[in-house]
Structure 1
């Protein structure tokens, strides 16, 4: 039998080994390529990475604190505003309408503006608008100027709300982060009526409250642009953005198509209605519960202003209908706030899971803007009806809004379970 040379055997064995190694490398490369998109999509920024994110979250919470003070203070100030301008409930409610118009107006350009000039400059513009509005109100101008100022406040608040909310919603463990963001809003909502009532009790003009807001907005004007400076240029940020700026700032036809897609998205529409009802009930209670206690419980306006601070622990159970005493009402209002507290961050977490990644900035901006306009539309409706039938209308309006929340939540799509 003819023997096989050892050199040939070695060469054949080496070739087989090389072929196997090459096949293994190709298979490994293919696996990496197949897993690449999934791994990229799973890599999400956290509150700790990049390092500056911790300051961004704190800056976002600072703006939310100011927004909470702005939304809660009118409840303690309405009686003084009516007295100083000699106007009725229906007229003073115009400030809520102007605020709502500002929110709605901002919804049409927030996404395009932040894509074109970046979050940092957009937030700087929002704080500049807040400084302008608060400064005018602090001078106790004629009532039409107050209404115009609330319009600019609506635009400024809608801008920082949408940008900061989208940022928080895209971080890992976003329920906790959005909860902290909303918690700062609650702290502002708690301190706003306390400060406003204390100022009025000591004989100060109602508008002096807004000098505090001027100072806070001025601080934010420098802090939040610094925190978000160069945010878009960070290495891993591209994974989070639904569209590059060049795509979002395309032709009018493309933007119109994107807007139609936005309105056809079930989660966006139902989410907007849900947050509209949520914030409508929230601000309506905070804004008008003081007037209710004064009119139906014979409360002292200089003292019952503290009650709305208790509300910013939760939502109303409408116990005012059945318990005719201010202490009992105060406890019920505070307890109801405790129940409302977790709804907003949990809802944003669900929306973020349901909305396609490419639509999140536009969709959450629309949800935030339209939803926040509920915080101005509902108080206006309450004021108009209260002028004719009394502040008792606060209860059926809020109950109707709660029912709306339940119905819209029921019809939301079910989140898909993640298999990875």
Structure 2
């Protein structure tokens, strides 16, 4: 790939990651930033706008050593999110008899969860402007904690379903802030890989704990006491690590929130990346959420054992995000994602057409392994092709809309499976993988944004 030479004008001011604002022409001495090559694999050198609009949020990449506490907080938040997202599928075999409902009513859980993500996608930038990054994280953690306070005592089903709106809303706010924060530290491609590997670790633990509790007791809903404890720790951790300026926004930020969101949504790359994430996270959670039911209904597996196969998928996802982060960065993100999609499709087809539970367990783990790098790679690419002044609005929106797929596609799968059986999982997954390839091809090749 040809190297493009760009000249980066000095920024008006250095901005801390606590959502401080910058005004064009601030009376601060500029730094000396010389012309340098901008390569496809170097998101640290993404182009800066010379004079960002007044009130627009931009970040200066801090050294990791200065934000270790905040990295810990954001990583822990996605760990708890991973436990939440992966456990629902493992509990479906127990949720149905527990409430005496069919698959369509189970799918409503995902639909209500989707509504929480959707609300967060359009309100995140406003919340961040008013409460700051730490405030948005802390409020999201509080919403998530309140959801588990409803879930653990097995309330009436309508209230149980409503709790998924609260968890979706809370996780969405945290996910958006965590991705924006980590995407703007030095060597972000590695830290994004770690962030999403930690999510995978939480997702690995979720089915293990949920299946163990549900299989060995008559109180499957006690699993949510475990997540309640983690959510309480998470709330304290977010409030503590982001305590400086907690719940303090900026006046200019409040005025520019609508403008930032509109400008982000006018970027074609934001829309394409959002759709890519929408399909990707939908694939991820649909696979982890419905594979247990598939193995029980179609492969005649035992519920007490099939739940652990889902953990194999999340284990593969975690390992993939750790092992493939640098490989993807060095060999070219665009090229490698296409290769991963092809390998994932092969693993998925073997899973579909080989009716053997052991082979299925191996293939589902490989599917997770090849899918693992997609989300952190997409966020890394976004930092290159989007102007830095739009990172909060654009990356926050894309990540949140992407995570909405974690509820939308499991719901659609459940709704279709209610009429045609859970065997529809396989063609749905193939279609999602093909759709990801299409949207990834539409993302710009050049690793910079021309303002």
Greater alpha carbon shift after TM alignment, 271-280 vs 199-208: 199-208
Distance in 2 separating the partners of 1:180 and 1:343: 13
- Summarize the alignment of residues 51-130 of structure 1 with structure 2, pairs less than 5 Å apart: 53-130=67-144
Per-residue deviation, 1:400: 1.1
Matched, 1:190 2:169: no
Distance in 2 separating the partners of 1:197 and 1:310: 13
Per-residue deviation, 1:100: 0.7
| 1:346 alignment counterpart | 377
Deviations 1:133-183 (A, max 9, x none): 011000101111111100000110001101111000001111111111101
| 1:180 alignment counterpart | 194
- Summarize the alignment of residues 269-418 of structure 1 with structure 2, pairs less than 5 Å apart: 269-312=271-314, 313-314=316-317, 317-416=348-447
| 2:152 alignment counterpart | 138
Give the superposed CA RMSD.
2.2
Distance in 2 separating the partners of 1:155 and 1:139: 21
Could you tell me whether the CA contact under 8 Å between 1:120 and 1:226 is conserved in 2? no
Distance in 2 separating the partners of 1:401 and 1:170: 29
Aligned in 2, Cα 1:147/1:318: closer, same or farther, shift over 3 Å? farther
Per-residue deviation, 1:245: 2.8
Aligned in 2, Cα 1:116/1:305: closer, same or farther, shift over 3 Å? same
Greater alpha carbon shift after TM alignment, 335-344 vs 119-128: 119-128
Equivalent position SS for 2:101: coil
Aligned in 2, Cα 1:43/1:370: closer, same or farther, shift over 3 Å? closer
Could you tell me whether the CA contact under 8 Å between 1:106 and 1:158 is conserved in 2? yes
Q: Which runs of 5+ in 1 are unaligned?
A: 1-31, 234-243
Distance in 1 separating the partners of 2:257 and 2:421: 45
- Summarize the alignment of residues 103-252 of structure 1 with structure 2, pairs less than 5 Å apart: 103-230=117-244, 245-250=250-255
| 2:20 alignment counterpart | none
Deviations 1:382-415 (A, max 9, x none): 0011111111111111111111111111111123
Q: TM-score, normalised by structure 1?
A: 0.84
Aligned counterpart in structure 2 of residue 45 of structure 1, from 31, 55, 62? 62
Deviations 1:268-293 (A, max 9, x none): 10010000000000000111011110
Distance in 2 separating the partners of 1:61 and 1:130: 16
Distance in 2 separating the partners of 1:249 and 1:127: 22
Aligned counterpart in structure 2 of residue 267 of structure 1, from 266, 269, 288? 269
Equivalent position SS for 2:70: helix
Aligned in 2, Cα 1:332/1:64: closer, same or farther, shift over 3 Å? same
Aligned in 2, Cα 1:113/1:37: closer, same or farther, shift over 3 Å? farther
Aligned in 2, Cα 1:77/1:318: closer, same or farther, shift over 3 Å? farther
Per-residue deviation, 1:319: 2.4
Per-residue deviation, 1:364: 0.9
Could you tell me whether the CA contact under 8 Å between 1:350 and 1:415 is conserved in 2? no
| 1:29 alignment counterpart | none
Distance in 2 separating the partners of 1:319 and 1:376: 26
Q: Which runs of 5+ in 2 are unaligned?
A: 1-28, 37-46, 49-58, 318-343
Per-residue deviation, 1:126: 1.1
Per-residue deviation, 1:356: 1.0
Structure with bigger helix share is 1
Distance in 1 separating the partners of 2:135 and 2:355: 51
Distance in 2 separating the partners of 1:104 and 1:46: 33
| 1:24 alignment counterpart | none
Could you tell me whether the CA contact under 8 Å between 2:126 and 2:258 is conserved in 1? no
Q: TM-score, normalised by structure 2?
A: 0.78
User: How many residues in Structure 1 have an aligned counterpart in Structure 2?
Assistant: 371
Distance in 2 separating the partners of 1:232 and 1:125: 11
| 2:19 alignment counterpart | none
Distance in 2 separating the partners of 1:332 and 1:152: 34
Distance in 2 separating the partners of 1:34 and 1:223: 34
Deviations 1:87-110 (A, max 9, x none): 111111101011110011012222
Could you tell me whether the CA contact under 8 Å between 1:311 and 1:334 is conserved in 2? yes
Structure 1 ranges of 4+ moved more than 6 A? 37-40
Per-residue deviation, 1:204: 3.6
